[in-house]
Structure 1
């Protein structure tokens, strides 16, 4: 296409020449030029009206005929509308593929707008969440009426999930996650975890039942062994050594069963968290003194640093178990000349416990698995344990709304930290330092 402005300027020049000729012919040059200008303006107004009618009509395929600059304008708009029409068809096909794919998913999928209103959902959402087509445009919180879900929705903690019964079938248990995407859009995904939760409950019940069943015969065996050990002076030395080994293994099995029962109780949703006022400084003092008494001859040094009088609201028994595990673990894997530091200090509006040691440390690849049940970095490293201590610590911290962190470096020691939020403290922090060492 030729340059439209060249054609338009030629038209303007021609109109002016005609106006000048007519003005000279009729002896009114300025009037003739004004008439020509008005005709030229009418020409543009007519084409502007044609453009308006064309855009209103929506007939993108029918291109109005014209010349000059208006021909270029009509052509560019026509090409833009054709490209937009192709893009719209492509988006529609992509949307249909998305809907077809999500409709085939077994998990409920719901698209939420910025106001938590339902834009779209798949068939599984109707089956698991009880949604109907008439619910589109409704707020999801008005249709799923569970306090846990509404709290999750309001606080927008999308890194976590929430478990609720299915609104459509109370026998089904759903795990709900919300994923933000786009501009103020969110995708709600609800997964049926009924079978998974059932298997977890079966496993927990099995461990609890087996532990209870083992506790009684083990108590009887331990009683007889202790009686025999007390009379070891009347038994030949080889048999006496055998009895001591049996007693050691019996105590270890007793410790394993106790830890398993503790974990089972911590995982039980029917076991509520008490809200006792726990005097943590006194509790840590008792734990450190106990660790000093139970340590072997070649014991590491241990120091307690109390930088706040703040206590905690929670279960004293659970906190004692968690803190004892951290302190005894540090003492267990340290050698003579190493140092264990137990530090209770303020952290913003909350408080923090740090149990640090200068022991052998842990390689980075092992740290993520330390809180797994029965996981041990090296079964031959250090004295034997149940492998459940840090799993207990993790569960106790979760029940108290605290964060559990582990940092370590080979050859330089480890630090185990428990970070408690402000709403868990029950005494204002009066900063001071009280350090004891042994």
Structure 2
């Protein structure tokens, strides 16, 4: 570690001895020491010039010659350049492997810069998005001119995806997702979902067509069964019992068909969402009054109207969603229990809570409750009729209204189903104030 400095000190000592010798000869010691100092400085300038020339364009292997501290400096820089050269080769190999891997991906991949400019893209992006090598540096929004994509890019809501048609391939549907990474960099991935969309459309059309075709025979069958059940005394009681059971199953089948048709209509999105004022307090009062008409014994239903806020949207869809929640709570709550329907403010938006004191639902079932036909066997539910479509309808209604369905449940204590509506759907001055004593037990 000290050998370079010892060599350098020897050079300094040599310069001093030279100055002393010249001073002794010329009898001008100041000039002699100044001249020896200049020679020592000139040596450093020569070695610095060699270093500068080497760093500017010299090969790594062509190490400049030097002595003293400069020999150590040359060696350390040489070792650092060798190390950087190896690291650069490794990075180049990694980059080539990355480009080869991304080029083989079936999904279009685009690297976006801080200002949405294109930094790099793979071959699939050329084929599916119509990008060209000359587009590097251009803003992606100037090349993909679709209003939905522009809105998605401007609002930077990267938790969701957006669907657009391919600008180059006919009948090709793309689903775009943007993933932020690094510093102000983003990765745009466009996936071909044409087949998936086709299968969804086939499934939706199949369910809609089958459900529609079943309505006519079910209506005819139900009419004949009602006629047979009205023939008191003309048909033996044993046959009447069979006809009643058939009528019950026909009604259940008709309810299932109606639910499938409603769910298919909501999923298709073919009908635009109306922006009409919905008087939610009045709607909830009507639903709670209708619950009293259920044939079986029901628990106490308490309606708490803590706000007069209304909503904008489709009244029939909201009525269907709210009714499903209230009826489910009543069905799965014992007669000695209680169901609480609460309409209240929550920040800028509003919230509907339907809380019951039923048997509750295990936590592992909560994520799947809104799937169609998914039902949970809970205590006392074996004799409860239902299609398994109610919560699926509720979820789709919430999605269409920009709301969120939250489910909380504890075994043995009950469940709470909440519909949280944003402030953009809330009307606070369009509805009358809630009546005094708005909390009522039905």
TM-score between both structures, scaled by the size of structure 2: 0.95
The aligned residue for residue 34 of structure 1 is 34
Distance 1:63 1:182 in 2: 38
The aligned residue for residue 385 of structure 1 is 386
The aligned residue for residue 228 of structure 2 is 228
* Deviations 1:233-281, CA, capped at 9 Å, x for gaps: 5433222222221121111111100000000110113211111110011
* Aligned ranges 1:40-189 → 2 under 5 Å: 40-189=40-189
* Aligned ranges 1:323-342 → 2 under 5 Å: 323-342=322-341
The two structures, once aligned, show a CA RMSD in angstroms of 1.8
Distance 2:226 2:333 in 1: 30
C-alpha displacement of 1:61: 2.1
* Aligned ranges 1:242-253 → 2 under 5 Å: 242-253=242-253
C-alpha displacement of 1:216: 0.8
Distance 2:92 2:157 in 1: 32
The aligned residue for residue 14 of structure 1 is 14
SS of 2:110 mapped into structure 1: strand
Distance 1:58 1:363 in 2: 73
C-alpha displacement of 1:329: 0.6
Greater Cα offset, 32-41 or 254-263 = 32-41
C-alpha displacement of 1:214: 0.5
C-alpha displacement of 1:22: 2.8
* Deviations 1:114-152, CA, capped at 9 Å, x for gaps: 111111111111111111122111111111110001111
1:395 matched to 2:414: no
Distance 2:149 2:437 in 1: 44
Distance 2:231 2:414 in 1: 43
C-alpha displacement of 1:62: 1.0
C-alpha displacement of 1:177: 0.9
The aligned residue for residue 409 of structure 1 is 410
SS of 1:18 mapped into structure 2: helix
The aligned residue for residue 371 of structure 1 is 370
The aligned residue for residue 24 of structure 1 is 24
C-alpha displacement of 1:289: 1.2
The aligned residue for residue 208 of structure 2 is 208
Distance 2:232 2:26 in 1: 145
C-alpha displacement of 1:31: 2.4
- Residues 367 and 382 of structure 1, relative CA distance in 2, 3 Å threshold: farther
- Residues 382 and 245 of structure 1, relative CA distance in 2, 3 Å threshold: closer
The aligned residue for residue 436 of structure 1 is 440
Q: Is the 8 A contact 1:332 1:382 kept in 2?
A: no
Where does the alignment leave 5 or more consecutive residues of structure 1 unmatched? none
Matched positions, count: 437
The aligned residue for residue 360 of structure 2 is 361
Distance 1:34 1:159 in 2: 73
C-alpha displacement of 1:426: 2.2
Q: Is the 8 A contact 1:119 1:136 kept in 2?
A: yes
Distance 2:169 2:25 in 1: 95
1:419 matched to 2:423: no
Q: Is the 8 A contact 1:295 1:331 kept in 2?
A: no
Q: Is the 8 A contact 1:333 1:382 kept in 2?
A: no
Distance 2:385 2:133 in 1: 61
The aligned residue for residue 267 of structure 2 is 267
SS of 2:408 mapped into structure 1: strand
The aligned residue for residue 318 of structure 1 is 317
Distance 1:53 1:281 in 2: 84
The aligned residue for residue 191 of structure 1 is 191
SS of 1:145 mapped into structure 2: coil
Q: Is the 8 A contact 1:229 1:240 kept in 2?
A: yes
Distance 2:295 2:232 in 1: 25
Distance 1:133 1:347 in 2: 51
C-alpha displacement of 1:285: 0.9
- Any runs of at least 4 consecutive aligned residues in structure 1 with deviations exceeding 6 A, and if so which? 429-433
Distance 2:239 2:199 in 1: 45
Q: Is the 8 A contact 1:129 1:166 kept in 2?
A: yes
Distance 2:82 2:186 in 1: 32
C-alpha displacement of 1:333: 0.7
Distance 1:333 1:303 in 2: 16
Greater Cα offset, 207-216 or 182-191 = 182-191
Q: Is the 8 A contact 1:308 1:433 kept in 2?
A: no
Distance 1:275 1:24 in 2: 107
Distance 1:374 1:249 in 2: 17
